[in-house]
Structure 1
């Protein structure tokens, strides 16, 4: 009897769903300065275009991931990708920065299902085929995300040159149409093994308390002057813990998560890695446009080597098993890139900017694949959707910290002094990532 093979019809919707968030993350990097000019808003205000998307997605990812665990990926995928199209329409016609931020919030919610759905489909296919080593598909997802990150800044610069920054939002309309069509045609209506009594398994109080805790924490990180939010965060966190430890079917099983030290360590590494990578994506790009004097298109071209090298690194290290080597390579690459960034100035030759982007490509490729592989093998298979969602949540926490740090470092303008201040923060995070990776013996297994 021939051995069952992975259903390759699933790859297209899996890949498209998972890249909806990265494309909207990277494309806005070159649009921040033009949007600020259009609405008379400084970098400290346009930073909300970054933070709002990650705020919505950080809240939504584990919630949608848990719903995928209970109901399967199809219906959540279709609802979410439809919202992406709606957000594209709102952003295209937005009359003010506030409406534009609202469109980014809707985009954040709409992009929640893609990645957890892909991980859930991987596990269901592993069960169906009897093969629990989807290295090729995991690498495909990582490379697809790297590729779209290459195209994001370049495409953003091209669209801005052709018709202005509004086209960067309009792009979501055709992407949504294609994603919904692929979901309808190719995603299974009922993944084997899913519970039919899913409604009874939804922990609404737990989800609500988690949302209050995370929302207050993220707002605090974005503005530390609002110290009272710390009280709200701690109170909501205590209530959330009390609820989850007593719930029959908790939203996040804290007992299981607390006993899974390798997975908790993966989440910690994700937080630190994303602080560094997104501080570079947004902070470095704004500096190249405002202080170095590059156009949005040329700023996107300078970023391109990072993603191209990242693709090459992902393809190369994806051929080998294990995650320790991948994450150690990424850790060393981060430290080297941040050190180089400290040597840049407005008088630096263009090749130095390209060199920094090239070196940043090493952690861009190695870390994303290493962290993704880690959560796939470390998570409880019955909660792979919510576990994958939490991985992205910690990544978005890092992105929000990076956005807040960028706004604080730059203030009213993206100066060289502010860029160096940001680079020191990134270097500290890189060293921390290196330490918690190098001494983690569990990764070597």
Structure 2
């Protein structure tokens, strides 16, 4: 579960230190290499909830194996890419390939909770969050090491052995299909698979994300397309017997909707820092890719320590509040950075960012686990990642717009002000969310092992 779920964050973060070397090698400015970030998020934001819904119906094993195999193929394509266009295509393929890992892990956790009767797999959820945070933060350092050993192409080649190991472990360890009764139930659901709903959701998301990649008034038609697709999607889902996204249930689950909004804002801050700060340390401050990754090691250590300690405590409100304040303080310190700042100031910023890095992801993941309809755990987890990736896309386009042709100090400060505004919004979403004061199960009015659609809907409505 851990290896499959980290394939996406490792590719999301390792690219941070490769953007400048790739741009130098292929003659592309930051505004063009930003597509390497956006392409992955576009594919993943679309694929995660679709793959999650398919996992809810068919189970995780087969979809995990097929999807993860694409990661290895994408690694080969990226390693051999002759130009930026092919490299971007490999990132799209990579995005679709990494879609199954996290929804499959959450679905397996839910099924094990139901099978064993254990209501709170807090230790496993913490381990899953720590694994993702470890990779997310160590990615820039790993990228710097690989670039030093084999150039930027080595960061794409890394996906080949990772995919091979993940597929082999999946073949050996993932549970096979359940009994005939469950298989027949899945067959009935599959017969009512909402393909039109998925298609409309894809049109909505693609048009919206294409606009967010490079916002400009001349692209107004993308917003019009997104609005039209949104309206058609809503009509379809409210009429479909087995909707792709049950808008009635989701609309009645206010805590889950707020969690999705909070995830979007959190990732705007986190990934603006990851991409913007890393590019500035290389181009504006003059560090090598390896040293730019090394500066972020303190964030990795703090994030892991905070996750392990806080994962033992119930509730998410305190974690979210401290994470929100950590983001705000780190953004304020970023505004003081210049090309003449000491390296220790860069380390201080990384240390502060380690606190929200360790708290926010864990709290958001736990929130979705307890707030979601049990029958839609995988698709709900996929939607969490979708909202997070929309935030990451906003962060990528914001960083590109802030820096333009060069990642200089003025661009960093412009980016920091935007991050500060997002951090304040995150704090407000947390302070005024009254549902966070309740324990997860009481907030939903159910326990995790209630499996019927009726129970799930009742629990969600009571939220």
TM range (shorter): over 0.9
2: distance between equivalents of 1:228 and 1:50?
A: 23
Q: Which runs of 5 or more structure 2 residues have no equivalent in the other structure?
A: 439-463
Take 1:163 and 1:408, find their aligned partners in 2: how far apart are those partners? 30
Contact 1:70 1:201 in 2 (8 A): no
Q: Secondary structure at the match of 2:411?
A: helix
1-side partners of 2:16 and 2:215: how far apart?
24
SS at match of 2:321: helix
Unaligned runs of 5+ in 1: 1-13
Q: Across the two proteins, how many residue pairs are aligned to each other?
A: 432
Tell me which residue corresponds to 1:11: none
- Measured at CA, do residues 305 and 229 of structure 1 come closer, stay the same or move farther in structure 2, by a change above 3 Å? same
Moved over 4 A (4+): 191-194
Distance 2:297 2:78 in 1: 25
Q: CA deviation at 1:150?
A: 3.4
**Residues 323-332 or 65-74, more deviating:** 323-332
Residue 222 of structure 1 and its aligned partner are, at CA, apart by: 1.2
Offset, 1:201:
3.0
* 2:53 and 2:244 in contact (8 A); partners too: yes
Aligned position for 2:201: 210
Matched with 1:412 is 405
For residues 224 and 45 of structure 1, what CA distance do their matches in structure 2 show?
14
**Is 1:378 the equivalent of 2:371?**
yes
- Structure 1 distance, partners of 2:241, 2:186, is 17
What is the match of residue 429 of structure 2? 436
CA contact (8 A) 2:17 2:140 kept: yes
Correspondence 1:135 to 2:122: yes
What is residue 10 of structure 1 aligned with on the other side?
none
Alignment partner of 1:196 out of 178, 181, 186: 186
The corresponding residue for 2:289 is 296
Corresponding residue for 1:91? 78
Instruction: Give per-residue Cα distances to partners, 1:197-217, cap 9 Å, x unaligned.
Output: 142131000000000000000
CA contact (8 A) 2:201 2:230 kept: yes
Question: Once the 2 structures are TM-superposed, how far is the Cα of residue 191 of structure 1 from its aligned partner?
Answer: 4.6
1:175-190 to structure 2, matched below 5 A, reads 175-190=162-177
What SS does the corresponding residue of 2:38 show, helix, strand or coil?
Answer: helix
What RMSD in Å do the two structures reach over aligned CA positions? Answer: 0.9
Residue equivalent to 2:44: 57
- Whether contact under 8 Å (2:36, 2:91) holds in the other structure is yes
State the partner residue of 2:20: 33
Please report the TM-score for the alignment, with normalisation by the length of structure 1.
Answer: 0.96
2:237 counterpart of 1:234: no
Distance 1:190 1:127 in 2: 16
More displaced 10-residue stretch of structure 1: 33-42 or 149-158? 149-158
- Counterparts of 2:236 and 2:212, CA distance in 1: 25
Aligned twin of 1:362: 355
1:117 aligns with 2:104: yes
1:144 aligns with 2:131: yes
